[in-house]
Every structure is written in structure tokens, then in C-alpha cells.
Amino acid sequence: MKLYHFPISPNSRRVVATLHHLGLDCELQAVDLSKRDQLQPEFVQINPNHMIPTLVDGDFVLWESNAIMQYLCSKVSDNSLFPADPIVRADITRWQFWQTGHFGSACGVFITENIIKPVFLQAEPDLQEIAKGEERFHRFAKVLDDHLKGRDWLVGDGVTLADFSVGSYLDLTSMAKYPLEPYLEIQRWYAGIEQLAAWQSSAPQKF
Ligand SMILES: N[C@@H](CCC(=O)N[C@@H](CS)C(=O)NCC(=O)O)C(=O)O
């Protein structure tokens, strides 16, 4: 298997952490988004969205990080990241969809305005966009914070794909400047994710 990724991308990090946690062999190929390498014709042929992460497994090409994570789990029987129980699976999948549709897009505003623009595009953040992002961030961070009261993990008693998917943004908290201060449950939960060997070994080099 080969995974095309960009190390600081949360979308990539959660897939790499899944690979490490499952102990799967996979070649990692970095696609440098800062150089627009995702637009190279060879890569667009693999993923017409020109987005990482993208997995190639023999003749099968799979994009969308959460689909890749579930596919990787299907290769390891009895794994605890995505257990076979239908209700547990549905619960994990719910959080993965929620990350894609809501929490991740709220975090994405801060990543774009406070990291991508100043670091990669030498552009100023748009304060109106940040204000809209704040409203969205607070709406969904409250849902997450409330859910985490009395829990160490999003689903059940151990780490699952749900934690990797939703937690993947939080490594960028200080650079992206998410307004995370009021959300003590989220901070406590993420500190637990940071203790995991697979999370530590999948960490991007700081830039
Ligand atoms: N929903 C996708 C999002 C992937 C995504 O947004 N990738 C970004 C980097 S974080 C990308 O490759 N952008 C390059 C581009 O749009 O050209 C997933 O979960 O895999």
C-alpha cells in the first residue's frame, strides 16, 4: 500500500496514526501542497480532487480520510479502533461524519486564515472570515465538550477512529488560534490522545 499525504495536514495525520496503531505496512509518499504538487498530472490521475490523503492498494485507489481509516481497519480482524458491533460502528461513523461536516470545517477556517495564508501564501488573515469561523467553532466545540464530560474517549472505553478523526485538528491549536480556552473537557481528552504511541509516532515535524 502507498499513502499520499502531507504531514501537517490533520486529514493526513489521522490516517497515518491509524496505520501506526494497527501496525500496517504502508509506504508514505509526501505531496508538497506548498509547492502545489497535488496539481501534478500524475497525482490528479490518481485523485481528480487533487487532495491528500489518497491511498493506493494494488489497483484500488481510495480518497477521503475517514473512508481510508475504515478500510485500513477492515484489514485487521478484531481491532478496537473500529469494532465489528454495528451500533459501535455507527457511533464512530457518526463522529467521523460530524468531523467532516461540522467540527473540521470550523477548524479549517482558522487553519486557512492563521496558517495557510501567512505561512504558505504570504497573505493576511481575513478578520471577517475568522469572526464567522468563531461562531461556527463555538457551536460545535460546545457539543464536543458536553459529550466528553465523564468520558475519556468519544465512543466506549478506549480510543477509536472517532478520537483520531475529531482530535486530529487539535495539534494545530496554537498556530491556528482556535478559541479553545473555555473547553476544558476537550483539552483534557486531547491530552489523553497525545499520550498514545501511534499519535506520537505520527506527529509531523514542526515548521
Ligand atoms: N474530506 C477530505 C479533505 C481532504 C483535504 O481537504 N485535503 C487538503 C489538505 S488538508 C488538500 O489536499 N488540498 C489540496 C487542494 O485542494 O488542492 C478528506 O477527509 O480526506
Binding site membership of 65 for ligand 1 (Cβ less than 6 Å): yes
Can you list the alpha helix ranges (DSSP code H) found in the chain?
A: 10-22, 41-46, 65-73, 86-98, 104-111, 127-148, 161-167, 173-176, 184-194, 197-201
Q: Report d(CA 114, CA 127) in Å as an integer.
A: 10
| Contact criterion met (CB below 8 Å) for 164 and 158 | no
Binding site membership of 111 for ligand 1 (Cβ less than 6 Å): no
Q: Which of 11, 110, 120 is the best mutation target for the ligand 1 pocket, counting ligand atoms within 8 Å of the beta carbon and taking the most?
A: 11
Average pLDDT across each block of 10 residues of the chain; the chain has 207 residues. List them in order.
Answer: 96 98 97 95 98 98 98 96 98 98 97 94 95 97 98 98 98 96 98 98 81
Per-residue confidence (pLDDT) for residue 120, from 0 to 100: 87
Quickly tell me which residue has 473555555 as its cell. 182
Position in ligand 1 atom list of the atom nearest CA 6: 9
Per-residue confidence (pLDDT) for residue 99, from 0 to 100: 98
Burial of 124 by CB count in 10 Å (0-12 exposed, 13-18 middle, 19+ buried)? exposed
The residues with which 4 forms a beta bridge, in sequence order, are 29, 54
Per-residue confidence (pLDDT) for residue 205, from 0 to 100: 78
Domains of the chain by range and CATH? 2-73 (3.40.30.10), 86-200 (1.20.1050.10)
